[in-house]
Amino acid sequence: MSRRMRAFKRWMMSHCIVYSDALVFVDSPDGISVRALYDLKEGDLVATIPKRSCLTIRTSGISSLIEASGLDGCLGLALALMYERSLGAASPWEGYLQILPDRECVPFTWSLEEVDNLLVGTELHKTVKEDQKFLVEDWKEYIEPLIQSGPLEMDWAYFGIEQYFSAKSLVASRSFEICEYHGSGMVPLADLFNHKTGAENVHFMLASSSSGSDDETAGNVFDASDDDKPPAKNLSNTSVNGPNGTLEMIVVKEVEAGGEVFNTYGCMGNAALLHKYGFTESNNPFNIVNIDLDQVLGWCSSSFSNRYCRSRLASWRKLNFSGCTSQVDSEYFEIDSDGEPQLELRILLYVMFLSETMHQKLNCGIDSLTRATEADKLIKLLEMTRTDSLEQRSEDLEELLLTDDVCQSLLCLADIRETLYGASSLKEEISRLQNCCRMKERKLYYSLVLRLSERKIIGRLRSYAHRYLNRRKAKCK
C-alpha cells in the first residue's frame, strides 16, 4: 500500500469513517480503485461515512465568508476546496486532500489547442469552449474580488485562475449531492469507486440525520458554468436534512473476490462522461450524436428557397415540435446509438417535403392537430397529409414518415455531420486509437474513443436510411 493510502486510512479512522475489511484500495498510476478482498453479497453494508467528515460549504473553514458572499453550489464548493488546500497540513481534510489529483483530466482544463485538435467535430467542441469562457468569467466576477477585498488573508498562489480550474474539475467530477443542509460536497472514500455503465455494485444512501433548526434554504447558485448541480451518483434520500447523520454504502450487486467494486454515475454517453468525468468507455450503449437544427436548415436551403424553408419550419413549430436545447442555446436533434434519428427530426423533414397542396391542407387543419394528444398527433398528421388510408397500411406509423425524400435527406445530413471531424478517415482514426497508449496519452485516447463512437453512429444513420430506401424499392417491385 502506498504512503498516501496509509495516511488516508489513518485519516478516515480519525474521522469515524468505517469500511469493511472486505474492501481493498489499489493505488496505481491510473488512479485509485476499490476491489473486493472477499466475496460481497447483495445487502452487505461496506462503509459508513459521517456527513460531518465530508467537505462542504457548511463544514469548510471558510463557510462564513462563502455564505456571507452569497455563493453556493459548485462555485462555493470550489472556493471551499481551494481554501482547504491552501491550509496544507493545517486543514482538517489534509489526509483526504492529499490523495486527490491536482486536477481531473476533464476537457475544460485542456488548452485551447488541445480542445480544437482533439474535440473538433464532436459534441463537446463548442460546449467546452463555452465552459472555459464561463469559468474565467466566474473567477473574475466572484473569486478575484473576494480574495482582494475579503477579510481573510489568502495566498494568491492558491486562488488564481489555474487553481480555480483545478478545484472546479475535482468538484465537477467527484462531488455528490448530500442533503438540503449540506448541498453538494466532497465525500471521502465514496469518490474512490470508479464508474462502469450498467455495472453498479454499491449504492449510497443517507442512513440518518438530525432535525431541528437546520432547515435553512439554499441560496442562489451563481456558477454560470454549472450543469445545474452535480449528479447524485446514486446517493438517495437526499431530502433528509441536517448537519449530522451518516451515509451508508450498500452492495446492490454481488462482487466476487478480486473483482473491482463499481459505482455508477448514471446512464451517460461518452460525450457526457468525458465532459463531466474525463474518460470514455468503449461500446457505451448510451452514445448519441447530435445534428444541429442550423445544419438541417442549411441543407434544406440548398434545395429550397429560404422563404420555403421558413414556412415549413413555422408549420412544424406550430405543431409544438422542437429539438433539444444545449447549454449554449443551440437547438439540435439526437441520433441514438443504433443510428435512429429523433422523431422530431423525421417529422421536420417529412413536413419539408410535403407537396404545396398538402402543406396548405396541413396549415388549414393545424389547430386541430395542436389540440391532439401527443399520441394522436402523429396519426392525425399522417391522415391529413397522405392520400391513402392508414388503416390499409401494415407499416409502423413512424415508418410512414420515411419517404424516399426523407431518407435521402438523412443520408445528406450524415455526410454533412461527418465532415466536421476533418480530413482523417474512420479507418485512420481506428488505427490511431490502436496505436495510442491510454496511460501516456490520456487526452488523445479518450477523445479518439469519443470521435469513433460518434462516427460509428453516423455510419449507422446511413444504414438506417438505406434500409428504408431498400425496403420501399422492394415493395415497388
DSSP string, 372-437: S-HHHHHHHHHHHH-SS-GGG--S-GGGGG--HHHHHHHHHHHHHHHHTT-S--HHHHHHHHHT--
Q: List pLDDT tens digits, range 235-278.
A: 444 435 678 889 999 999 999 999 999 998 888 999 999 999 99
- Which three-class secondary structure state does DSSP give residue 115? helix
Q: What is the pLDDT of residues 339-383, one digit of tens each?
A: 999 999 999 999 999 999 999 999 999 988 888 888 788 888 998
Which pLDDT score is estimated for 477? 63
CATH code for residues 3-268: 3.90.1410.10
pLDDT by residue (tens digit) across 171-200? 999 999 898 899 999 999 999 999 988 888
Q: What is the pLDDT of residue 267?
A: 87
The three three-digit cell numbers of residue 38, written as one number: 472477499
Mean pLDDT of 398-419: 94
Report d(CA 137, CA 123) in Å as an integer: 23
Coil, helix or strand for 124? coil
| Segment 317-324 mean pLDDT | 93
Residue pair 50/16 in contact (Cβ under 8 Å)? The answer is yes
What single letter denotes the amino acid at residue 292?
Answer: D
Residue 203 near residue 248 (C-beta atoms within 8 A): no
**CATH annotation of 289-476:** 3.90.1420
The yes-or-no verdict on residue 146 having pLDDT over 90 is no
Q: What is the mean pLDDT of residues 115-142?
A: 94
The model's pTM is: 0.86
- Cβ-based burial of 54 (10 A; exposed 0-12, middle 13-18, buried ≥19): buried
Spatial distance between the Cα atoms of 164 and 139, rounded to a whole number of angstroms = 7
Which grid coordinates belong to 382?
399522417
Checking if the pLDDT of 211 tops 90, the result is no
What's the mean pLDDT in 449-453? Answer: 97
Average pLDDT of the chain?
A: 88
Query: Do residues 123 and 132 lie in contact, with contact meaning Cβ atoms separated by under 8 Å?
Result: no
pLDDT at 391: 58
Locate the domains of the chain by residue range: 3-268, 289-476
pLDDT band per the 50, 70, 90 thresholds, residue 220: very low
